[in-house]
Amino acid sequence: MRDEDKTRQQLLYELNRLRGKLQGTEARYRQVKEALKYEEKRIRLLLEEIPAWVCMQAPDHTLRWYNRRFVELFGEPRGRRCYEVIRRRDKPCEPCPTFQGKSNGRWEYTEPVSGKAYAVYESDFLDMEGAPLVLKIGVESEGCGNPPGGRARMPGDPCGNETCKPLFETHHAVMLLIDPDSGVVVDGNPSACEFYGYPRERLRGMSITDINILTREEVFEEMAAARAENRRRFLFRHRLSSGVVRDVEVFSGPVVVGGKSLLCSIVHDVSERRAAETERERLIEELRRALGEVKTLRGFMPICAQCKNIRDDKGYWNRIEAYLKKHSEIEFTHGICPACAEKLYGDEDWYDGEALGE
């Protein structure tokens, strides 16, 4: 096999190998998306059962999803915007507390028809396509013993109202309550204990710096941003009790528990998704590089029947090796075939045709 043919075969082999790996990564990526869809379905089933009204709002004020308690209280939205359904307004709130950075993650709402008071909690997240949404959970606050100033307690706070506890205790999402001053984990729900691998008694009292692999200074800087509500979504790497490090997406914001300001962090494990995305991007880049190394000649090629020169698209005749070198990645090395050697040197005494044929 000639060197140029060998080089081309190697490139084509590498290209096919990368295509195969990319197809495998795409299949894995689809599996991760299916798993996320299943998890999303589980979350929605849970949100249907909790004793609170729940909706998911998009930046254009549309309600992308809502549970049956929401419909019982506000009626079927039927395409109406959040301000029309919840606030009974004709125009958006100015400014919109949800999508203009004015919300502190909770607010009080009194339903005008029933007169019931609700503590409304908000949390940012992304849908399957990466579009921003806000999850709103409205918990009836009557009898919850809210602290002075009307600031609602955290769902799950032992305020004596049993309807609050499922939001924290039975939610399948990983949830942590963190003291922003000391970085101490005040509490974690059962899902957090299962995810991190610590018993609840051990998790309580741990420092968040025992979990987050950032430096202490970086962790407190991020907590300050969450506390001031400059940011609510973070991408971190958390260490489990086994020593395994997982990529996590954290939605964090201030809440009041027992009169003290804490951070409530909802943690999502995105390790599989991040790994699949990284591998997919790497393979796509490798594929692009491989494609850049392969130049393919297509179509009819005018070639002289006698001298084998090739005519280019400008009408000029070129030696075949010059033409192929210009239009491909082929590099030529020159030798002589037995037929030409016989023609040129067959009459010479020193010529050994059999040795050359070997």
Identify the band that residue 85 occupies on the pLDDT scale cut at 50, 70 and 90: confident
Judged against a pLDDT cut of 50, whether residue 29 lies above it is answered with yes
Rounded Cα gap, residues 53 and 70, in angstroms: 5
For the chain, the average pLDDT equals 77
Dihedral of CA atoms 150, 152, 158, 159 in degrees, nearest 10, equals 40
Q: Is 356 helix (H, G, I), strand (E, B) or coil?
A: helix
| Nearest alpha carbon to residue 94 among 131, 53, 61 | 61
Mean pLDDT across 214-233: 82
- Cβ 94 vs Cβ 202: under 8 Å: no
pLDDT at 291: 66
Band (327; pLDDT cuts 50, 70, 90)? low
Can you give the residue ranges of every domain in the chain? Answer: 297-357
Residues 46, 168 contacting (CB under 8 angstroms):
no
Q: What is the pLDDT at residue 165?
A: 54
pLDDT digits (tens, 9 = 90+) for 108-131: 777 766 677 888 887 777 776 777
Separation CA 82–CA 92 (nearest Å): 8
pLDDT band at 162, cuts 50/70/90?
A: very low
Read off the pLDDT of residues 45-81 as tens digits, 9 standing for 90 and up: 878 877 788 998 888 889 988 998 898 888 888 889 9
Closest CA to 213 of 243, 185, 233: 243
Closest to 87 in 3D by CA, of 79, 96, 151: 96
What share of the chain has pLDDT > 90, as a percent? 16
Report the range of poorest mean pLDDT among 115-119, 250-254, 278-282: 115-119
Neighbours of 210 (CB within 10 A): 15
Which pLDDT score is estimated for 104?
A: 45
